[in-house]
């Protein structure tokens, strides 16, 4: 009996030990296998336009350097072939700007390239632009605020520190501040107005961050594992490094939280590889191709990663200020948030009724209040995982002479990066909600899309809605007017 009890205790201790280890690879994120790409490739450039992934050039198992272009539609899981690049290239970089894809640099045989090859997915055609100043390959290429940056790489067998910026509007290049540490096969991405550069083929665990407004690089927390040739993607306010090799194959997924400057491991990719393509479409990350050390093969495998989504944090610092028949609310951004709910009560401590949902900014004006009455508010944050805890409670009492609410309307004209214009005739309150969402998304919070209900031409439909993606908006204008009596 004593031995039996001892055995039970040992088993329980093992279970407890496992429960301590497992959270490092938190449940909720997962990998799934999708349709293979037509030909196994590594060292290719990639970018996304209109929710399709484009793969440019690269290298096959037979060491053929390619000028081919393949397009993948994650919605249908189908591949298609597009017009070939003007020049073959391996280890080039690519970024999307104004609906076009800029493929920059690379290597063709032993020739290091300066080329800027521009692909227009809508026309399936190519043009060439002004070459970048410094020829190089295995570089990082990202777009930020309409400017495309070429970062690091290899030049004359040296790890380059070069940062050069290309303006598509003027077709010109300029030189920016050097990286803190040069490298090739860097993982580079733009996020929240800055450029993040990770690792590289100099046995680096370094995280370098560039602020274009100051032209200054800073160093952040090191990677958990040194990597080169890892895929990089950002989603849900986190940055993911996938795969990589330094000095041997790595199938790890490392998640970086820019808000906390912290790292943690996530669920491993099923097939470890490096020099792969990694892109985000519709809330999922796709890992495509690459080289596998475990099989010593260039592979054509496509895997889809669904990141874990935690509940958002509760909004804090809720403030209520009263005016004449209005109460203005403001609060501090909650992390991991798509939108906010505003709730109100006439009794301190509730119960509260939701008076607004899908609020994308960090402020709200309640215009449905009566002067002389005290109102109590809380705000919650939401994402796909659910709703946060309540914020602090704030209260205010509106005072003053009652004036009727504005009945003004506006024509909201949204120009998309494709050149398409969308025009909506809306109440100013709805236009203000759109502007609040846009400003919030530009600051790194809120949903990727804004929904506009169309009350015209509904026919027999119950509703008609347009879903406007933030990264597809080139510009918008607001034309306010007073409707005729």
Residue ranges of domains in the chain = 28-306, 316-396, 409-481
Higher pLDDT, 220 or 464: 220
pLDDT at 293 over 90: no
pLDDT at 10: 38
Closest listed residue to residue 379, CA positions, set 318, 425, 337, 445: 318
CATH architecture of 28-306: 6 Propeller (2.120)
Rounded Cα–Cα distance for residues 158 and 138 (Å): 12
The dihedrals phi and psi of 13, each to the nearest 5 degrees, come to: -65, -35
pLDDT over threshold 50, residue 16: no
The answer to whether residues 214 and 230 touch, using CB atoms and an 8 Å cutoff, is: no
pLDDT at 193 over 90: yes
Q: Give the list of residues 6+ apart from residue 314 with CB closer than 8 angstroms, or none.
A: 334, 380, 381, 388, 389, 390, 391
User: Strand ranges (DSSP E) for 122-246?
Assistant: 125-129, 140-144, 147-151, 154-155, 158-159, 163-167, 172-175, 187-191, 194-198, 207-211, 216-220, 231-235, 238-242
pLDDT at position 132 over 80: yes
Determine the Cα–Cα distance for residues 198 and 201; give it in Å rounded to an integer.
10
User: What pLDDT, on a 0 to 100 scale, did the predictor assign at position 460?
Assistant: 63
Rounded average pLDDT over 131-156:
94
Q: Percentage of residues in the chain with pLDDT exceeding 90?
A: 62
Q: Which residues pair with 343 in a beta bridge?
A: 354, 378
At residue 459 the predicted structure's pLDDT band, cuts being 50, 70 and 90, is low
What's the pLDDT at 330? 92
The CA distances from residue 391 to 299, 332, 350, 388, in Å, are 49, 10, 13, 9
**Is residue 25 over pLDDT 70?**
no
In this prediction, residue 27 carries a pLDDT of 40
User: What local confidence, expressed as pLDDT, does residue 110 receive?
Assistant: 85
What integer pLDDT is reported at residue 316 of this predicted model? 93
Indicate the SS3 state at residue 431. Answer: helix
pLDDT digits (tens, 9 = 90+) for 358-406: 898 889 999 999 999 999 999 999 987 789 999 999 999 998 765 555 6
Rounded CA separation 136/104 (Å): 9
Pairing of strands 409-416, 231-235: unpaired
Is beta strand 78-82 parallel, antiparallel or unpaired with respect to 107-108?
unpaired
Is 6's pLDDT higher than 50? Answer: no
> Strands of 30-34's sheet, edge to edge?
30-34, 302-306, 284-288, 277-281
Q: What confidence score (pLDDT) does residue 23 get?
A: 33
Per-residue pLDDT tens digits for 171-188: 999 999 999 999 899 999
pLDDT band of 421, cuts 50, 70, 90: confident
What is the rounded distance in angstroms from the CA atom of residue 96 to the CA atom of residue 47?
A: 6
Residue 391 CA to residue 376 CA, distance in Å, equals: 12
Mean pLDDT of 193-202: 90
Q: Which residue has the higher pLDDT, 436 or 129?
A: 129
**DSSP three-state, residue 432:** helix
316-396, CATH topology level: Immunoglobulin-like (2.60.40)
In the block, which residue shows the tokens 């475990």? 294
Residue with tokens 């892109």: 279
Question: Residue 402 class from Cβ within 10 Å (0-12 exposed, 13-18 middle, 19+ buried)?
Answer: exposed
pLDDT band at 444 (very low <50, low <70, confident <90, very high): low
Show the CA angle centred on residue 219, arms to residues 314 and 281, nearest 5°: 55
What span, in angstroms and rounded, lies between the C-alpha atoms of 288 and 302? Answer: 5
Task: Round to whole Å and give the CA distance between 217 and 227.
Answer: 20
CB 274: neighbour CB atoms within 10 A? 25
Is 60 exceeded by the pLDDT of residue 423? yes
- Residue 148 CA to residue 178 CA, distance in Å, equals 16
Alpha carbon distance 187, 141 (integer Å) = 9
**Least confident stretch, 13-27, 153-167, 461-475:** 13-27
Tokens of 123: 């026309």
pLDDT-derived band at 9 (thresholds 50, 70, 90) equals: very low
Indicate whether this model's pTM tops 0.75.
no
Positive or negative torsion for Cα 42, 79, 53, 67: positive
> What pLDDT, on the 0 to 100 scale, is given for residue 47?
97
Q: How far apart are CA 311 and CA 447, in angstroms?
A: 15
Average pLDDT over residues 443-460: 69
Average pLDDT, the chain: 87
pLDDT of residue 456: 60
Q: For position 201, what pLDDT does the model report?
A: 82
Q: What is the pLDDT of residues 150-159, one digit of tens each?
A: 999 998 778 9
pLDDT at 20: 33
pLDDT at 467: 83
| Burial of 374 per CB tally in 10 Å (0-12, 13-18, 19+) | middle
DSSP line for 80-104: EEEPPPSS--BS-EEEEETTEEEEE
pLDDT value for 279: 97
- Taking the CA atoms of residue 304, residue 340, residue 362 and residue 480 in that order, the dihedral angle to the nearest 10 degrees is 100
Neighbours of 287 (CB within 10 A): 26
Q: Is the pLDDT of residue 349 over 80?
A: yes
């Amino acid at each position: 009996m004593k031995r039996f009890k001892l055995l039970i205790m040992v088993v329980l201790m093992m279970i407890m030990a496992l429960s301590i280890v497992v959270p490092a690879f938190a449940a909720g994120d997962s990998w799934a296998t999708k349709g293979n790409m037509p030909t196994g490739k590594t060292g290719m450039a990639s970018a996304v336009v209109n929710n399709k992934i484009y793969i440019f050039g690269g290298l096959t198992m037979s060491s053929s350097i390619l000028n081919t272009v393949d397009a993948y539609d994650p919605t249908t899981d189908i591949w298609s072939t597009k017009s070939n690049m003007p020049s073959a290239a391996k280890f080039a970089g690519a970024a999307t700007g104004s609906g076009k894809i800029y493929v920059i640099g690379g290597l063709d045989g032993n020739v290091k390239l300066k080329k800027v090859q521009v692909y227009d997915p809508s026309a399936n055609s190519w043009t060439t632009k002004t070459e970048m100043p410094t020829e190089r390959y295995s570089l990082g290429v990202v777009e930020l605020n309409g400017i495309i940056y070429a970062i690091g790489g290899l030049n004359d067998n040296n790890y380059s520190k070069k940062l050069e910026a290309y303006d598509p509007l003027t077709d010109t290049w300029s030189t920016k501040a050097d990286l803190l540490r040069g490298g090739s096969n860097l993982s580079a991405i733009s996020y929240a107005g800055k450029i993040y550069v990770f690792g590289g083929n100099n046995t680096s665990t370094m995280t370098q961050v560039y602020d274009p407004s100051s032209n200054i690089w800073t160093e952040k927390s090191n990677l958990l594992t040194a990597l080169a040739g890892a895929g990089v993607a950002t989603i849900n306010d986190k940055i993911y490094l996938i795969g990589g090799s330094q000095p041997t194959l790595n199938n790890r997924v490392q998640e970086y939280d820019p808000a906390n400057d912290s790292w943690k491991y996530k669920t491993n990719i099923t097939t470890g590889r490096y020099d792969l393509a990694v892109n985000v479409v519709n809330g999922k990350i796709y890992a495509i191709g690459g080289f596998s050390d475990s099989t010593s093969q260039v592979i054509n495998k496509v895997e889809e990663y669904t990141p874990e989504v935690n509940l958002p944090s509760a909004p804090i610092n809720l403030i209520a200020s009263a005016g004449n028949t209005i109460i203005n609310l403001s609060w501090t951004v909650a992390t991991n948030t798509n939108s906010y709910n505003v709730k109100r009560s006439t009794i301190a401590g509730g119960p509260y009724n939701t008076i607004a949902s899908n609020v994308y900014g960090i402020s709200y004006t309640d215009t449905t209040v009566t002067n002389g009455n005290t109102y109590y508010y809380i705000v919650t944050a939401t994402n796909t995982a659910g709703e946060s805890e309540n914020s602090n409670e704030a209260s205010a009492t509106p005072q003053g002479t009652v004036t009727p609410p504005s009945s003004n309307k506006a024509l909201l004209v949204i120009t998309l990066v494709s050149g398409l214009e969308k025009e909506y005739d809306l109440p100013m309150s709805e236009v203000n909600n759109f502007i609040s969402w846009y400003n919030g998304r530009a600051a790194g919070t809120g949903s990727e899309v804004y929904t506009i209900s169309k009350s015209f031409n509904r026919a027999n439909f119950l509703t008609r809605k347009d879903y406007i993606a933030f990264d597809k908006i080139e510009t918008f204008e607001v034309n306010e007017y007073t409707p005729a009596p």
